[in-house]
Amino acid sequence: MSSPETKGPGEGPGRGEVILELRALHKNFLMHRGRTVIKAVDGLSFQLRRGEILGLVGESGCGKTTTGKLVMKLIEPTSGSIIVNGDDATRLRGAQAIAYRRRVQMVFQDPYASMNPHFKIRDVLEEPLLIHRIGATKLERTAMISEVMRRVKMVPVEDYMDRHPHMLSGGQRQRIATARTLILRPEIIVADEPVSMIDLSTRAEILHLMKAIQRDMSLSFIYITHDISTARFFTDRIAVMYLGRIVELGSQDEVIDHPIHPYTRALIEAVCEPVSGRVGLMRELPIKGEVPSAASIPAGCRFHPRCPYAKSECWELPEPELEDSGAGHLHACRRWREI
């Protein structure tokens, strides 16, 4: 395993080596004794580069959290592969799987539910070390805990070490959750809505901190969110997901300033901004209705029933694959030149 702290030349966002690759990943969940198949992730492919923050953006039910769990190996895919350093992570078992999880760590959405309330902060941070058999003595482990707490700015360390999670604010808990992932010196962090439950006034503080740590340690991040506004601030590239698949992928500026796919355009159109003069106005919503069930994904382009531009080709021809419109800006819309 290469040290996450080495930072080679040219390893800025978007230029580093590919550290993780998802290839045609599928995850089906069976319901009603197998009579209903929920295709939560349905042919997902993307690459994550070293030192990059990739945003997975989409509405609830689009499969973004399932994707995070697949990358973490918390669940097994139905088909497809997850390539890390040339190995297929989906095939790893036993000790190899545990070693893999050390390299890929997760920050969960709910900082209130993701920590054992009986544990002190010291125990919360020590547990991963014990599981992965890192640090021979208690003293050594305590030194590592102190170091990582300083990194997430929970200082003075002694003040917080013996507190219980309920004695911390939401923002402080999410720092500890971040510290818990960092203590294993991972290469990849999957952050599933890490700030959605934190107050607005401290949300930016946590995002700034995560970004600073990500740069310092040259970490790669998968940032899962429904909030395209924080994605613009936090990510290097954005992948927009719809019903288990990526419909658009590109640098955050490209995707937000020049969206191609009608779904991305609608998502952006629907976002409120704190500016005056909107109260009397109705928002023009180009798309109607809600996301259909992942148990009955429409044939052809999966977005066609809600798309204002859909024509017969959109449902008669097979599903469009991601294509490059230039400069690495990918989209899956057949009619993109006309609309």
Partner 1 sequence: MMMSETKNPGYKQPLLKVRDLRLHYFTSKGEVLALDGVSFDLMAGETLGLVGESGCGKTTMGLALLNMPSPPGRIVSGSITIDGKEIVGMGDRELRREVRWAKVSMVFQGAMNCLTPVYTVRKLMLETWQEHASGKHPDPKAVEELMLRYTRRVGLPDHVLGRYPHELSGGMKQRVVIAMALFLEPRLIIMDEPTTALDVIVQAQILNLIKELRRDLGLSYLFITHDLATEAEVADRIMVMYAGKMAELGTNEQIFGSRGPRHPYTQKLLASTPLLRKKVSELAFIPGSPPDLISPPPACRFEPRCAFAKAKCGRLEPPVVEIESGHQVACWKAMEDSEYELS
Q: Residue written as tokens 């994550």?
A: 48
Q: How many residues does the chain have?
A: 339
Q: How far is the CB of 274 from partner 1 (least distance, A)?
A: 5
Nearer to partner 1, 208 or 311 (CB): 208
Nearer to partner 1, 233 or 315 (CB): 233
Q: How far is the CB of 337 from partner 1 (least distance, A)?
A: 25
Strand pairing report for 104-107 and 188-192: parallel
Largest CA distance in the chain: 68
Angle of CA points 170, 274, 240, to nearest 5°: 70
Q: What binding mask, one character per residue, do residues 28-67 give for partner 1 by CB under 8 A, x or -?
A: -------------------------------xx-------
| Preceding peptide of 156 cis, ω within 30° | yes
Q: Which stretch binds partner 1 (CB under 8 A): 78-86, 98-106, 122-130, 224-232?
A: 224-232
Q: Contact between 155 and partner 1 (CB under 8 A)? A: no
Q: Contact between 276 and partner 1 (CB under 8 A)? A: yes
The 10 Å Cβ neighbour count of residue 223 is 28
Nearer to partner 1, 253 or 321 (CB): 253
Q: Contact between 275 and partner 1 (CB under 8 A)? A: yes
User: Mind giving me the DSSP string for 154-192?
Assistant: --SHHHHHT--GGGS-HHHHHHHHHHHHHTT--SEEEEE
| Binding-site member from 28, 78, 142, 202 for partner 1 (CB under 8 A) | 202
Residues with Cβ within 8 Å of 185's Cβ and at least 6 positions away in sequence, in order, are: 3, 4, 5, 102, 217
Q: How far is the CB of 170 from partner 1 (least distance, A)?
A: 8
Q: Contact between 201 and partner 1 (CB under 8 A)? A: yes
Q: How far is the CB of 195 from partner 1 (least distance, A)?
A: 10
Q: For residues 177 and 107, is the Cβ–Cβ distance under 8 A? A: yes
Nearer to partner 1, 108 or 234 (CB): 234
The 10 Å Cβ neighbour count of residue 272 is 8
Q: What binding mask, one character per residue, do residues 229-258 give for partner 1 by CB under 8 A, x or -?
A: xx-xx-------------------x--x--
Q: Residue written as tokens 């920590």?
A: 115
Locate the DSSP E strands across 210-282. Answer: 220-225, 237-242, 245-251
CA distances from residue 106 to 73, 220, 242, 283, 305 in whole angstroms, order as listed: 11, 12, 23, 37, 35
Q: Contact between 167 and partner 1 (CB under 8 A)? A: no
Q: How far is the CB of 250 from partner 1 (least distance, A)?
A: 15
Angle of CA points 277, 283, 285, to nearest 5°: 160
Q: How far is the CB of 286 from partner 1 (least distance, A)?
A: 10
Nearer to partner 1, 91 or 278 (CB): 278
Q: Contact between 297 and partner 1 (CB under 8 A)? A: no
Q: Contact between 171 and partner 1 (CB under 8 A)? A: yes
Q: Which stretch binds partner 1 (CB under 8 A): 32-40, 139-147, 267-275, 323-331?
A: 267-275
Beta-bridge mates of residue 251: 237
Number of residues that bind partner 1 (CB under 8 A): 42
85 DSSP 8-state letter: T
Q: Contact between 207 and partner 1 (CB under 8 A)? A: yes
Distance CA 226, CA 56 (A): 8
Q: Which stretch binds partner 1 (CB under 8 A): 46-54, 82-90, 111-119, 287-295?
A: 287-295
List contacts with partner 1 (CB under 8 A): 59-60, 169, 171, 199-205, 207-208, 226-230, 232-233, 253, 256, 266-279, 282-283, 285, 287, 290-291
